[in-house]
């Protein structure tokens, strides 16, 4: 008799768990991490910036985000978690209408920035209010200074032309580098090519660039997934320190990271928003079985 073979059930893929809510006071599924934020931001500083109302998003015939509603607040970090293909990156990209550059993208529902529908704003204006940092560090092939100056607002009609360095521009660039915690490392030579920085420094430069536009909302698409643990820790501390001056939305595959930095957590699965609430609610007392299974590592 051959020994019994234990098989992994493939017919359960994609994972579908019963949608029954769990009782309260459930034992915490251990996410082994420490919260970086000691306290919440003072309530006076927390203000609503973006509101996503019943948003559906599709590429071609394929609806990848289904009926999602949530709120993005300044003073808080919102983490979007979920398995690959859950639609979290698409939802993130729809917040600055970057989904539109993909052919065949379609949408339904309403997204507002400070009460204005973002589809009524001029798209390049919107993208200066809602800037983004990507998974791979992508400095532009120019100096550190020019990378940050590239994002600065300028008079219309003179789009992106290389300009003289006025004191105002220099101040704005050093401000942005200070906010991104990079200034002390690069102050000696801002004319050095940005391509020669380390990966972690490049990513902080990208954050500085995104902050230089003075956005209301900063979108981060898995900003640490290409970085080493030390650079990751630096950037996570940076994220928490920035939350009072800018609303932050971070997409991450890394549950520990979401646990460490987030005030609010949105858990998405197959395009649906399964659970959305404060970090304590979602991580410590998840209401849904699927959330509980995901954060305890049953699938993902």
Partner 1 sequence: MAAAELAPSPPSGTAIARAPREGTTSWPLVDRIGYWLCWTVGIGLCLVALAIVLFMLVKGISYLRIGLLVHSPAPSQIQSQSGGFLDPIEGTLIVALIGTVIAVPVGVAIATWLSEYRRPAGLARAVESAIEITAGAPSVVLALFGLLIFAQGFLGFLSQRAATGAVYGRSFFAAGVVMAGLALPLIVSSPRAGLAQLPNHLREASYALGRTRATTIRRVLLPAIRPDISTGTVLGIGRIIGDTAIIRILLGLTLTTQPVGQVPVLGLLRGTGSTLTSYIYENSPAGEGLSPQKAYAAAFVLLAIVLALNGLVTWTTNRGPRWTR
Selected from 15, 56, 59, 150, the binder of partner 1 by CB under 8 A is 150
Stretch that binds partner 1, among 59-67, 158-166, 244-252, 255-263 (CB under 8 A): 158-166
Q: Is 142 in the site for partner 1 (CB under 8 A)?
A: yes
Q: What is the nearest approach in angstroms of partner 1 to the Cβ of residue 161? A: 8
Determine the Cα–Cα distance for residues 270 and 90; give it in Å rounded to an integer: 12
Cβ-proximal residues to 96 (8 Å cutoff; 6+ apart), any chain: 118, 126, 127, 130, 131, 132, 217, 219
What HEC string does the chain produce?
CCCCCCCCCCCCCCCCCCCCECCCCCCCCCCCCCCCCCCCCCHHHCEEEEEEEEEEEEECCEEEEEEEEEEEEECCEEEEECCCCCCHHHHHHHCCCHHHHCCCEEEEEEEEECCEECCCCCHHHHHHHEEEECCCCCCCCCEHHHHHHCCCCCCCCCCCCCCCCCHHHHHHHHHHHHHCCCHHHHHHHCCCEHHHCCHHHHHHHHHHHHHHCCCCEEEEECCCCCCCHHHHHHHHHHHHHHCCCCEEEEECCCHHHHHHHCCEEEEEECCEEEEEEEHHHHHHCCCEHHHHHHHCCCCC
Nearer to partner 1, 4 or 141 (CB): 141
The interface region with partner 1, picked from 15-23, 111-119, 123-131, 279-287 by CB under 8 A, is: 123-131
Q: How far is CA 121 from the centre of its chain?
A: 21
Question: In this complex, which beta carbon is closest to partner 1, that of residue 46 or of residue 195?
Answer: 195
Question: In this chain, which of 49, 204, 209, 292 binds partner 1, going by CB under 8 A?
Answer: 209
Kindly tell me which of 128 and 290 has the beta carbon lying closer to partner 1.
128
- For the CB of residue 123, give the shortest distance to partner 1 in the complex, in Å: 8
206 touches partner 1 by CB under 8 A: yes
Residue 41 Cβ, how far from partner 1 at the closest point, in Å?
25
- Kindly state the smallest distance separating residue 213's Cβ from partner 1, in Å: 6
Rounded to a whole number of angstroms, the minimum distance from the CB of residue 138 to partner 1 is 5
Could you count the other beta carbons within 10 Å of the beta carbon of residue 8? 6
Can you tell me which of 116, 138, 198, 241 binds partner 1, judged by CB under 8 A?
Answer: 138
Supply φ then ψ for residue 269, to 5 degrees: -145, 125
Instruction: Give the nearest distance from C-beta 212 to partner 1 in angstroms.
Output: 8
Does position 159 bind partner 1 by CB under 8 A? yes
Minimum CB distance to partner 1 smaller for 3 or for 141: 141
Nearer of residues 98 and 282 to partner 1, judged by Cβ: 98
Query: Interacting stretch for partner 1, rule CB under 8 A, among 45-53, 202-210, 249-257, 280-288?
Result: 202-210
Question: Could you say whether residue 198 binds partner 1 (CB under 8 A)?
Answer: no
| 151 binds partner 1, rule: CB under 8 A | yes
Binding test (CB under 8 A) with partner 1, winner from 74, 90, 94, 96:
96
What residues line the site for partner 1 (CB under 8 A)? 96, 98, 101, 124-128, 131-132, 134-138, 140-142, 150-151, 159-160, 162, 193, 195, 206, 209-210, 213, 219, 226
């Amino acid at each position: 008799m051959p020994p019994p073979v234990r098989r992994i059930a493939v017919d359960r893929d994609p994972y579908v768990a019963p949608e029954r809510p769990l009782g309260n006071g459930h034992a915490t599924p251990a996410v082994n991490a420490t919260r970086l934020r000691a306290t919440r931001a003072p309530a006076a500083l927390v203000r609503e910036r973006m509101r996503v109302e019943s948003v559906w998003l599709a590429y071609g015939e394929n609806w990848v985000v289904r009926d999602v509603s949530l709120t993005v607040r300044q003073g808080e970090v919102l983490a979007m978690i979920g398995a690959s293909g859950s639609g979290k990156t698409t939802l993130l990209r729809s917040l600055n209408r970057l989904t539109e550059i993909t052919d065949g993208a379609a949408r339904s529902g309403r997204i507002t920035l400070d009460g204005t529908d973002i589809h009524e704003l001029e798209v390049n204006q919107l993208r200066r209010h809602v800037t983004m940092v990507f998974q791979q560090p992508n400095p532009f092939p120019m100096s550190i200074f020019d990378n940050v100056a590239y994002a600065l607002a300028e008079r219309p009609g003179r789009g992106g032309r290389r300009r003289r360095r006025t004191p105002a521009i220099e101040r704005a660039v050093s401000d942005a580098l200070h906010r991104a915690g990079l200034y002390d490392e690069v102050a000696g030579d801002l004319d050095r090519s940005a391509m020669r920085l380390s990966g972690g420094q490049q990513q902080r430069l990208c954050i500085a660039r995104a902050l230089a536009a003075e956005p209301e909302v900063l979108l981060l698409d898995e900003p640490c997934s290409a970085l080493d643990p030390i650079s990751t820790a630096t950037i996570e501390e940076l994220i928490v320190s920035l939350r009072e001056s800018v609303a932050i939305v971070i997409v991450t595959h890394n549950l520990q990271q979401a646990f460490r930095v987030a005030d609010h957590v949105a858990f998405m699965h197959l395009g649906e928003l399964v659970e959305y609430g404060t970090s304590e609610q979602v991580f410590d007392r998840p209401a849904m079985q699927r959330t509980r299974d995901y954060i305890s590592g049953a699938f993902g």
